[in-house]
Amino acid sequence: MTRSRRELILPVIALVLAVAASAAFAQTGTQDSLSADPKTRCAQLVAFWLRHGGSKSEGAGGADIARKNAEVDCEAGRYPSGIRAMEELLRRNGYTVPTYKAADR
């Protein structure tokens, strides 16, 4: 396979994976079941990232550092900071950040 074909195939594969992850997220109903409790929401966003986008392995890169920092914030009770960091991480990586229904707030 030539280099130019590989350069075309990799973005296509990434797009397919992103669409599949978005579809899986929409089907699970996670968006409707997110908690208004900051501690629970923080944990749910981290779990979503680990399930759909992230890696806990050593040397996973910058996104994993952002996730770890957010987890530390959440564990220390700095929920707004942890939630904000996880939402930014999800957005940067092409995920739609789950929101609450108006009745949940």
pLDDT of residue 64: 79
Percentage of the chain lying above the pLDDT 90 cut: 32
Rounded Cα–Cα distance for residues 41 and 85 (Å): 12
Rounded Cα–Cα distance for residues 64 and 71 (Å): 10
Q: Which among 94, 83, 98, 10 is positioned nearest to 53, based on CA atoms?
A: 94
List helix spans (H) across the chain. 3-28, 30-33, 38-52, 62-75, 79-92
Per residue in 12-62, pLDDT (tens digit) is 676 555 555 554 444 444 444 567 789 999 999 999 888 887 655 555 556
Q: Which among 86, 95, 100 is positioned nearest to 33, based on CA atoms?
A: 100
pLDDT of residue 104: 43
Rounded Cα–Cα distance for residues 18 and 11 (Å): 10
